[in-house]
Amino acid sequence: MTSLVEHPRRLHVVDPITGESRADYDIADEAAVHAAVERARDAAGWWAGLRARERRRHLSAYKSLIASRIDELAELIRAETGKSLAGAQLEVMLAVEHLDWAARNARRVLKRRSVSSGMLAFNQASSVTYVPFGVVGVIGPWNYPVYTPMGAVSHALAAGNAVVFKPSEFTPGVGVWLAQCWSELLPDQPVLQVVTGDGATGAALCRAAVDKIAFTGSAATGRAVMAACAERLTPVVIEGGGKDALIVTADADLDAAAQAAVFGGLGNAGQTCAGVERVYVEQAVYEPFVARLAELARKVRPGAEPEAPYGPMTTPTQPGIVLRHITDAIDRGARALVGDAASVRPPFVEPVVLTDVPEDSAAVTDETFGPVLVVNPVVDAEEALRRTNATAYGLSGAIFTRHRRRGLALAAQLRAGAVSVNSVLGYAGVPSLPFGGVGDSGFGRVHGADGLREFSRPMSVTWQRFRPPIDLMTLQPAASAMRTSLAMFRWRHGRSTHPARRDA
């Protein structure tokens, strides 16, 4: 089990699989964090001053260096999180794809663009340009220590910002590795730095003179981050977890839906913010779907070997949370179709499939973050939508149906930031799509054009092309100018196209 012991100004990290000591890392105090931000401030000026093509060249070199060392990084991810080797490799591949997209598209997305000036300012030419914030602080999670924080890091760098990255205290080595790769390419320009430490280090970063914070973690910690950032009115991007659902309609491909549920619910030991925790199945196909799902889930076994489907719980507290959710559901009448409370054998949790789970139980309302699937029947897709949306979270979701139009129509009614139809996590591999949630799942976006703009501030610029024949931008406009302008205004805006007004 991953454990972490605090020594004076040090983090002692233990391998979650073997229990062996891995390394010690500094706990950056407030002074160390502020010093890193000051270094980043100087580097930000140099970085923002480069042409977009030059930044793209440096980011492409960074991407290539990470890609060339994928085996080394995947082994480090595995050593600190316990996830399967394939899972770690996939994480790196996804992160590199998003970094590549951000580097290649930043100039196009963020370049100056002209906008219409309208009638009153027809003598003005108008444009919007996007300016880097300066220094962005990124606070990353432990479950995907490369893919998730690199979504913010990549787009913040591509937008012209310097970044100070605080990795999770459970995965500090991954953060240090990423920063060292950058230093190999640009040793004299600390555009990307890492500060290791615990929650106090993250709080110090929030209160430092950063220009924006991107945080991924629990909703409760996200609120604390927002409170700390409020002291300086520092804007934030929050990804606060999820309780995502998969909806299976009566016309769905049940084999494909069951396989997707297993992947989405058990992958990375269920420690995926956008993973599947709830499944709602139309009553007409409930029994055959559950039979398929149970058959697949019973074949899955976690393990310490690299090729295992999934590994252990990464943090020492997570098995207890998973056990509490399973026990609560069963005590309240749920049926354990696969596994039960005895499946929790720290540091591993074997697959658990629960059916007929009360909708107000913790396994339905709270983020379990373990290999537990709640599968409940519904009368129809409309009931599935109501149950899916009856949560404080709203990160993502999935829908299985053979009819494209119906799938898209149902997706539009989900209270979520991303939806996959006939797959799960389909959007994760599409670099042009933004990612983020609503409600307790947070706000703001990473990835895609929206992610680039998230780490830029829009600046509006006008320049007068010629003196206006009717000048209202003066303390005492001429009476004739006001009469003419008012007549034009009433003609343009006073005419209603509403049927009731026309009839009148």
Angle among Cα 469, 475, 478 to the nearest 5 degrees reads 45
pLDDT (0 to 100) of residue 495: 75
User: Distance (Å, rounded) from C-alpha 172 to C-alpha 23?
Assistant: 9
Q: Which amino acid is at 415?
A: R
Whole-angstrom Cα distance, residue 478 to residue 470? 9
Is the pLDDT score of 127 beyond 70?
A: yes
| Lowest mean pLDDT segment, chosen from 13-27, 186-200, 487-501 | 487-501
Report the percent of the chain where pLDDT is more than 90: 89
Contact 260, 248 (CB under 8 A): no
Could you count the other beta carbons within 10 Å of the beta carbon of residue 142?
Answer: 23
Q: For 444-461, what is the mean pLDDT?
A: 98
Q: Is 300 helix (H, G, I), strand (E, B) or coil?
A: coil
* Cis before 347 (ω within 30): yes
Confidence (pTM) = 0.94
Give the pLDDT band of residue 140 (cuts 50, 70, 90).
very high
- For residue 89, pLDDT beyond 50: yes
Cα separation, 410 vs 388, in Å, equals 11
Active site residues: 239, 273
Q: pLDDT value at position 500?
A: 62
pLDDT in tens, 402-448: 999 999 999 999 999 999 999 999 999 999 999 999 999 999 999 99
* 109-114 average pLDDT score: 97
Q: Which two tokens stand for residue 165?
A: 């990255």
What does the CA dihedral 453, 95, 170, 277 come to, rounded to 10 degrees? 90
Query: Of the ranges 1-10, 320-329, 465-474, which one carries the lowest mean pLDDT score?
Result: 1-10
Please list, in sequence order, all residues whose beta carbon lies within 8 angstroms of the beta carbon of residue 444, skipping any fewer than 6 positions away.
Answer: 214, 236, 237, 238, 239, 436, 454
How does pLDDT run across 294-338, given as a tens digit for each residue? Answer: 999 999 999 999 999 999 999 999 999 999 999 999 999 999 999
